[in-house]
Amino acid sequence: MVVIQNSIHDSSVNEYDLSNTLQKALKELGKGESELLIRLVNKTEIQNLNKIYRHQDKPTNVLSFPSDLPIEINEALLGDVVICTQVILRESIEQHKSFNDHLTHMAIHGMLHLLGYDHIDTKDAQQMESLEIKILAKIGINNPY
């Protein structure tokens, strides 16, 4: 189950479509029973989170916070993905992408982080990007890289 928490009441986001798209991606990854929260925030909130958790005092597009439930609690709770739609909009303009495509890409990117994927080294980055491209292609979004 994917829950969208639109804390900034951003009307440019089609929450229903985003939720359905992410649920399909979870099923594709064999995680269809998992729970995922997508929280849409403003620049101030994401900058504060980025400063506290990544020690970078600047806004960013997406942050992922994995669930910290103990293994003994049998819940398929992936965690939270926090997205700043203001940054997504700016990036989509700069990169000549549609807002919705870029938002979907960043939500999937954040979701993959919750599933253990990363892009710290080149090999891991290639693996994560390939999976993103595959998932995005299945939902009709061109290669973002």
Q: Which parts are annotated binding residues for Zn(2+)?
A: 109, 113, 119
State the binding site.
109, 113, 119
Q: How many Å apart are CA 131 and CA 117, to the nearest integer?
A: 10
- Alpha-carbon distance values, 117 to 49, 58, 76, 110 (Å): 21, 23, 17, 9
CA–chain centroid gap for 89, Å, is 15
Q: How many Å apart are CA 104 and CA 55, to the nearest integer?
A: 26
**Residue 22's CB: how many other CB atoms inside 10 A?**
24
